[in-house]
Chains A and B, each alone.
Chain A
Amino acid sequence: MKYISKVVSLKLNAEKCVGCGMCLEVCPHNVLRMEGRKAVIADLDGCMECGACMTNCAFGAITVNKGVGCAAAIINSLLYGGEPSCDCSGGKGRDSCC
């Protein structure tokens, strides 16, 4: 299943990438792939902007505008200010949490 195309903010800077493969390990949607000795974005639309790859790239090669893809959270942050967060909790990915 894919979400809306060509909106994802994920960027990979090939110059900084050393090909350690950590970003591939943490991505739950197989967005990244190794091509030769560098990671590349193979499936941009598959990215849910969780930011796991960015946080775990020791070389700062990945940037993404990380956030929650939840309408209620974004509407709440529009109405009451603050960052959108899943404060209503338990929702997203709950049954897959361990």
Chain B
Amino acid sequence: MPEIKLTIAPGTFKELKKPPYATGTVQSAIGKVWQVPAELTTADKFGIFRCRTSAYRNDYKVEPGLYAIGQPGGASDIIVTANYKYSFDVVRRALKGMSAWILVLNTKGINVWCAAGKGTFGTAELIKRMQLAQLDKLSERKTIILPQLGAVGISAHEVRKATGFKVVYGPVHAKDLRAFISAGHKATKEMRTMEFPITSRMALVPMEVIPMLKKYPFFALIVLLAFGLEPSGILFKNAIGGGLPFLAFGLGSIFTGAALTPALLPFIPTRSFAVKGWITGVVGTGLLMSAFPHFNTILLGITLLFFPVASSYIALQFTGSTTFTGMSGVNKELKTSIPIYLFSVAVSVLLLIVYKIIEWRVL
């Protein structure tokens, strides 16, 4: 465990200027502490909505340190969270009507789970914040409650050794905090389990689809160029006429890989995300192909080779959003699928060249 040095004088945090989310101060054994409300403002709620629906926000932070909810005292619970404002907001919302301390660690604005993986929500940072906030003077309970998902970065026995405080792991979801506390710091099996229901999966779909749509114009450009290219120059009519089916298949692959596969995840056969994505890709491409019955054999070959594989690749990206895929499994998938991806792309490009050569009748 890294050595902890107390560089900031104890109590410095009190002199920080009033954060915008604080509404007042409470008196405590260590002096004044900023008080925050459990009721979220419209802006806070909109912030939660945005965090859940769009990409990660870089600068959505709160100042690390100690905060009060209600009128806590020496016997009140101390709940630890990250300084991502979303994390802070869902915790204080969960504590409505209660009196408790919230200790915010400096995770550089990253949520508990990701920060714990990186180690910023970690043992050293926790011990440092506990010392800065003088928890030993503040609390008679000598117990702190950590989010269960923070356990990845925190070593409870090391915290105890360094501070004398007992670490209790709370529920996975902040919304269960109240039930956990009223049960005397006991979590049910449900509170301890990270599920991955369809609602969560659907909520993640935009985050899978949007980055892919951002890459789509490059793909479209390549397709249009490939089909429009003639010995005499680029023919717009050929580009559109020949390229249109491929443009549709491309969108189809994004849909099957980034939306359909996540949504239907448990219902698609096999455990491999690459295979799942390939299966939905074959079905999707097959359905779209029926709209273009007069396809020539080479184009048919390219279509069946390339687009299901594209869907597979896109589906594999979803491993980053799931709650149950481990590194060994993803490694194994990548080991088999990357060569297949490269091979399929290479053969597709070759076939396209053959197709163009025949089209131009240069041979």
Contact = CB atoms under 8 A, between A and B. Distances in A.
Contact of A69 (B193, B265, B327): B327
Interface string B164-187: 000001111111010000000001
A89 B200 CA distance: 17
A55 to B, nearest CB: 5
Q: Main SS of the interface on chain B?
A: helix
A7 B332 contact: yes
B327 A74 contact: yes
A94 B326 contact: no
Contacts of B118: 85-86
Contacts, number: 197
Nearest to A9: B328
Interface string B31-56: 00000000000000000000110011
Contact of B320 (A2, A8, A70): A70
B222 interface: no
Contact of A89 (B91, B110, B328, B330): B110
Contacts of A68: 117, 320, 327
Given A55-B151, A74-B334, A4 B329 contact: yes
A42 interface: no
A89 to B, nearest CB: 4
20 contacts: A22-B156, A25-B187, A47-B326, A48-B326, A56-B157, A69-B327, A70-B319, A71-B317, A72-B317, A74-B334, A90-B51, A91-B56, A91-B204, A93-B113, A93-B114, A93-B323, A95-B203, A96-B194, A98-B90, A98-B172
Interface of B: 51-52, 55-57, 81-82, 84, 86-87, 90-91, 94, 110-114, 117-118, 147-149, 151-157, 169-175, 177, 187, 189, 192-194, 196, 200, 203-204, 207, 265-266, 271-273, 316-317, 319-334
Identify the 9 closest CB pairs spanning chains A and B, nearest first: A90-B56, A98-B174, A67-B327, A70-B320, A49-B326, A69-B325, A26-B151, A58-B157, A28-B194
Interface of A: 1-5, 7-9, 22, 25-30, 46-52, 55-56, 58, 65-75, 78, 84-86, 88-98
